[in-house]
Chain A
Amino acid sequence: MPDIWGIAAIFAKLTLYFGVVGSTGLVIILATFPNLVLPLCRRIKAKAVVLAGLSIFAAMFGFMLRGAALTGDADGMTDPEMLGLLWQTPVGDVLVYRIAGMAILIAGMFIPRFGRWVSLAGGTIALWSFAKIGHVPDLQQTGVRLLLLLHLLGIAFWIGILGPLRNLSRLPEHLDDAALLGHRFGQAAAVIVPVLILAGLLMAWLLLGDLRALLSTGYGQTLLIKLVLVGAILILAAANKLRFVPAMQAGDSKAAQHLARSIEIETAVILVVLAATATLTSVQTLPN
């Protein structure tokens, strides 16, 4: 088990992932399906702002926790020497990317017309920070970093649709819009999800190098848990796409309730997947 600072770092990172990916995802949905999510526009913007604010807080808290990991006690969180040391390393660089990116995303949400594109740029800057530091960037290949960014944008798109689709499904007067949004997302997902999985598997192979490491190492086992959970999400997503959305298109309002419930379960599993990822990137060492 990691120590208290390791566990706190995992939770700070989980919050950071949820905030950055969630807010960027909402912005992607606003930019991709502006007309379909029009009834929820203000709500989506407000949520994106809250999530981005949360991720700024989590990024700063995570940075301070790294200070505590250096001294082994809470004093390290505010120790100018420790924080100054961290600031000189790539950890300081990514903190700047994350805060600046999320601040741009928030600002964009208050700018009319083109604001969502400003926000999208901000979200991408923050997502790029994850390609600047960690196990994947350690491979030192620009192609792999771009692959990680693509993977993250795909995940953001997926996570971004969950809230609006659920909320729209709960509004009986917008059943048609919810069905169309689900259908359009399903069409996009048919392309994005295979790319997402391929990119994930390729990065896993580059990091592990050997399938046996999947069972024999802590890193491999955590990755395996993540993969099994992703498999469960895919089954739920397939049920949504093949069963509930077509039923909603046929005017079945009960199917909309099922879809909303299915999305809630999907969100809970995604949170555990993000927690597994936070563990992989915070406290696990690569097998080699």
Chain B
Amino acid sequence: MKKLATFALMTVLATSAFAHSPVDHTTPENGATITEVPPEISFNFANDIRLTRVDMLHQDHPSVRLDLRDQTSFDRVFTLPLEGMGKGTYRIEWRGLGSDGHAMQGEFSFTVE
């Protein structure tokens, strides 16, 4: 019985696609290859959201937490300044709260050549 319950529980968990990331589009776009490090990145969401954490990960550097002190309201469009770290792949991981109370998260990446 325990085995059956554990198996069922694991199956339930394994089918979970992580939820609630209605990001419409980002700048730079996910997977884009560009020639210069952009001075800022932007997010467009389908619904109002409050960004609560944004991390930038670059292949050669430790992850950097972007400053969100100016982001104090629910909005659909966010623009954050970006500190360039040279060529390579940048991954942006974000978390936020929807106005309906849903926690959201997602990520996108782009490459500077």
A50 contacts B by Cβ under 8 Å: no
| Residues of A with C-beta under 8 A to B19 | 2, 283-285
Interface of A is mostly: helix
Are B1 and A268 in contact, with the CB atoms below 8 A? yes
| Residues of A with C-beta under 8 A to B101 | 66, 86, 89-92, 133
A173 contacts B by Cβ under 8 Å: no
Asked if A225 meets B18 with Cβ closer than 8 Å, knowing A91-B101, A268-B5, the reply is no
- Residues of chain A in range 257-276 having any CB-CB distance to chain B below 8 Å: 265, 268-269, 271-272, 275-276
- A229 to B1, alpha carbons, bound, how many Å? 13
**Pick from B11, B15, B52, B93: contact of A82, CB under 8 Å:** B52
| Binary per-residue interface labels of chain B (78-106) against chain A in the complex, 1 for a CB within 8 Å, 0 otherwise | 00000000000000010111111101010
Are B16 and A1 in contact, with the CB atoms below 8 A? yes
- A85 to B73, alpha carbons, bound, how many Å? 10
A103 contacts B by Cβ under 8 Å: no
| Binary per-residue interface labels of chain A (171-211) against chain B in the complex, 1 for a CB within 8 Å, 0 otherwise | 00000000000000000000000000000000000000000
- A277 to B47, alpha carbons, bound, how many Å? 26
| Residues of B with C-beta under 8 A to A3 | 18, 105
- Residues of chain B in range 20-42 having any CB-CB distance to chain A below 8 Å: 20
Interface residues of A (CB under 8 A from B): 1-3, 5-7, 10, 66, 69-72, 76, 82, 85-86, 89-92, 133, 138, 217-218, 221-222, 225, 229, 265, 268-269, 271-272, 275-276, 279, 283-285
Asked if A89 meets B8 with Cβ closer than 8 Å, knowing A69-B105, A70-B52, A284-B17, the reply is no
How close is B106's CB to chain A, nearest CB, in angstroms? 12
- A276 to B16, alpha carbons, bound, how many Å? 10
| Residues of B with C-beta under 8 A to A222 | 12, 15-16
Interface residues of B (CB under 8 A from A): 1-2, 5, 8-9, 11-20, 50, 52-53, 55, 93, 95-101, 103, 105
A-B contact pairs, 24 of them (CB 8 A): A1-B16, A2-B16, A2-B19, A3-B105, A6-B16, A69-B95, A70-B53, A70-B103, A71-B52, A71-B95, A72-B55, A89-B99, A133-B101, A218-B15, A222-B15, A222-B16, A225-B12, A225-B15, A272-B8, A272-B12, A275-B8, A275-B12, A276-B8, A285-B17
Given contacts A1-B18, A138-B100, 15 further A-B contacts (CB under 8 A): A1-B16, A2-B13, A66-B101, A69-B95, A70-B52, A70-B97, A71-B52, A89-B97, A89-B100, A92-B101, A265-B1, A272-B12, A275-B12, A283-B16, A284-B19
